[in-house]
């Protein structure tokens, strides 16, 4: 299998990239690691007339320490996120999540920016950046802007990025004291995609009960979401098995579960409830330690 023919561009700067995006409009697609775009093109589900390969834009690589958090370049690979000591220290949830994206070969090519911009319903990062309350940094013809993760994933394979915009970085705020995290995933054994993936960030108060929980869920529906109902139900709760299970019981209420060749809707619902319980319990345990 191979893609439909296209014209290949390899810009040397962000400005060149933006100019190409403006020029080509709908006919131009950005190529980073290519591990979401190329599979789609080989199946001819996507047939862009032009590919804009941003692989040479070194300014989009790098993990930068800042006051209050990290700024991670869009071209940072999953492998880098999974192994970089700074990411492990200051954005451990992202490192834990990146470690289980796809497989070794996919992690060597796939990028944070590409995964977020593509917004596959079974991608792992959306759950993680939602639970971390991250900000996505984009540049476009009108300059730079930041988009909160909660506003970024708008619909199936759709994000808040404007057509001429390029995702350039992600900002991850440091976690406050007494906070633990966990990414729980049930992966498809062949593709490595998330049948369901749950990212939980849990902060405990001095009594050991949950002061605040943030829960991002992917894979279960056609777009990742924050389980705000469960977060509210967990406030003030002691993180024991029964209490967390009870709080998680309604997690998929009002959310349409995906039903496909991999699993029926009821299975995804059940797995989601279980993974939410596990993720919250593990995150709470880590918050103590």
Partner 1 sequence: MSDPETITMTVNGEQRTAAVEPRTLLVHLLRDEFDLTGTHTGCETGQCGACTVHLNGQAVKSCMVLAVQAAGQEVSTIEGVAPKGTLHPVQDAFWTNHGLQCGYCTPGVIMSTLSLLKERPDPSDEEIRHALEGNICRCTGYQSIVAAVKDAAGRLARGEEPQPIR
Nearest one of 69, 119, 115 to 92, comparing CA atoms: 69
Helix or strand run (H / E) with residue 67: none
> Is residue 16 close enough to count as binding partner 1 by CB under 8 A?
no
Q: Which of residues 227-286 bind partner 1 (CB under 8 A)?
A: none
Helix or strand run (H / E) with residue 69: strand 69-73
How far apart are CB 45 and partner 1 at their closest, in Å? Answer: 12
Q: Which of residues 48-77 bind partner 1 (CB under 8 A)?
A: 49, 51, 53, 55
The interface region with partner 1, picked from 4-12, 172-180, 209-217, 281-289 by CB under 8 A, is 4-12
| Residue 155, CA distances (Å) to 34, 70, 172, 218, 224 in order | 21, 27, 23, 12, 9
Q: What's the token pair of residue 53?
A: 């390969």
> Is residue 106 close enough to count as binding partner 1 by CB under 8 A?
yes
CB 83 within 8 A of CB 51: no
The interface region with partner 1, picked from 97-105, 145-153, 238-246, 261-269 by CB under 8 A, is 97-105
HSE, side-chain direction, 13 A CA sphere, residue 110: 29
The interface region with partner 1, picked from 165-173, 184-192, 234-242, 248-256 by CB under 8 A, is 184-192
Q: Which is nearer to partner 1, 189 or 254 (CB)?
A: 189
> Is residue 104 close enough to count as binding partner 1 by CB under 8 A?
yes
Q: Which is nearer to partner 1, 113 or 239 (CB)?
A: 113
Rounded Cα–Cα distance for residues 168 and 227 (Å)? 27
């Amino acid at each position: 299998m191979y893609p439909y023919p296209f014209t290949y561009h390899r810009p040397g700067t962000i400005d060149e990239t933006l100019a190409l995006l403006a020029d080509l409009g709908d006919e131009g697609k950005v190529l980073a690691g290519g591990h979401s775009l190329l599979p789609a093109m080989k199946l001819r589900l996507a047939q862009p007339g032009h590919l804009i390969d941003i692989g040479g834009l070194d300014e989009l690589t790098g993990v930068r320490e800042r006051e209050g958090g990290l700024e991670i370049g869009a071209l940072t690979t999953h492998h880098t996120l999974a192994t970089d000591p700074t990411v492990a220290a200051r954005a451990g949830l992202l490192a834990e999540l990146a470690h289980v994206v796809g497989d070794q070969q996919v992690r060597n090519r796939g990028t944070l920016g590409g995964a977020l911009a593509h917004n596959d319903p079974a991608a792992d990062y959306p759950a993680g950046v939602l639970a971390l309350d991250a900000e996505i940094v984009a540049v476009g013809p009108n300059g730079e802007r930041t988009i909160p993760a909660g506003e970024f994933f708008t619909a199936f394979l759709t994000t808040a990025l404007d057509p001429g915009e390029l995702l350039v970085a992600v900002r991850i705020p440091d976690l406050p004291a007494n906070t633990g995290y966990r990414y729980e995933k049930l992966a498809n054994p062949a593709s490595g995609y998330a049948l369901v993936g749950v990212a939980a960030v849990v902060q405990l108060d001095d009594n050991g009960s949950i002061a605040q929980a943030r829960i991002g869920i992917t894979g279960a529906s056609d777009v990742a979401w924050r389980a705000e109902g469960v977060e509210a139900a967990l406030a003030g709760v002691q993180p024991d098995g029964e209490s967390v299970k009870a709080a998680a019981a309604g997690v998929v209420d009002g959310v349409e579960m995906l039903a496909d060749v991999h699993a029926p809707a009821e299975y995804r619902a059940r797995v989601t409830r279980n993974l939410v319980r596990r993720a919250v319990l593990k995150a709470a345990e880590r918050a103590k330690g």
